[in-house]
Amino acid sequence: MAFNFATFKTRSLSAILFVVVMLAGLLLNHWSFFILFTIIHFGCWYEYRRLVEKIDPAYKEISLFHRAVVPLLGFCLMLYVTNHAFDIGSLSLHSLGWWLGLLLVLILPLGELLLARKTGPRQYFHSLFGFVYISLSWALMIDLRCRGMAVTPGGRVIFDAGLIVPLVLIASIWINDTMAYIVGSLIGKTPFSPISPKKTWEGTIGGAILAVAVVTLVGYYLVGVKEAWGLIAISSIAAVFGTLGDLFESKLKRMAGVKDSGTILPGHGGFLDRFDSLLFATPLTWLYFVLFY
């Protein structure tokens, strides 16, 4: 295949923009972190709904009210897990998430009734699955960010180590994907799954081993994170469940008959394409963190 400079330029510029936006959102402060994952949350929902509509055309029949309320319920869950650092004066986003979420749960059936839409069990299942797959995962990511923060009742942050776990997780996934691609390109021969023909067992195993090694060594010796077993656990979760998340989203796209979930990043796909691994790895990382810390 001849080298296409225009395609290379487009992919490179979009990749640079993606990295800049991600780093800014992750590193500026807890507000930028929350805003970043709020955007990702609604972007993933938009693409998930479009994929499901292709897989099951009956999902197109849900009302506009239903389309809006279910992602908003997910956003309410993200608000609910925030701490005092997210208080705006006397307004608590935690309380706002609870009361607004409760209101939406109560009015959803009423809205469906008034709009005369007969949403069946299958459509509700698709929405419920999307809530667990997308909204719960990003809410747990926000909770991980908040758990490492020491905050006064007035909302003043006096200690903030909340970035450590999310950054280790995200770095682990990026390193695992990169290493799996490199190893697979060099020595990959055995297909890993028919869902994703380009993946090989050699690349998958090699990427996982290198990701755990790189994250643990860099985190322990260069960054100063002295929880070696924590680094090993999180990077292992990222390697295993991140790969499963990638395969799951590939299966969704294959069922929908599309190459990419979206076009937000020219040459790189959409929100689900970029964050499919993180959607699967986040809940397991949260569970590990809650059980052992």
pLDDT digits (tens, 9 = 90+) for 216-254: 999 999 888 888 999 999 999 999 999 999 999 999 999
Band of residue 118 on the pLDDT scale cut at 50, 70, 90:
low
3-class DSSP state of 83: coil
Evaluate if residue 172 carries a pLDDT over 90.
Answer: yes
Evaluate if residue 126 carries a pLDDT over 70.
Answer: yes
Band of residue 8 on the pLDDT scale cut at 50, 70, 90:
low
Spatial distance between the Cα atoms of 119 and 116, rounded to a whole number of angstroms: 9
Evaluate if residue 127 carries a pLDDT over 60.
Answer: yes
Written as six digits, the tokens of 148 are 């490492």
Query: 3-state DSSP: the chain helix, strand, coil percent, rounded to 5?
Result: 75, 5, 20
pLDDT digits (tens, 9 = 90+) for 182-211: 999 899 889 888 888 888 999 999 999 999
Please provide residue 92's backbone torsions phi and psi, each rounded to the nearest 5 degrees.
Answer: -100, 120
Which of 227, 230, 249 has its CA nearest to residue 177? Answer: 249
Band of residue 258 on the pLDDT scale cut at 50, 70, 90:
very high
Average model confidence (pLDDT) across the chain: 90
Record the pTM.
0.93
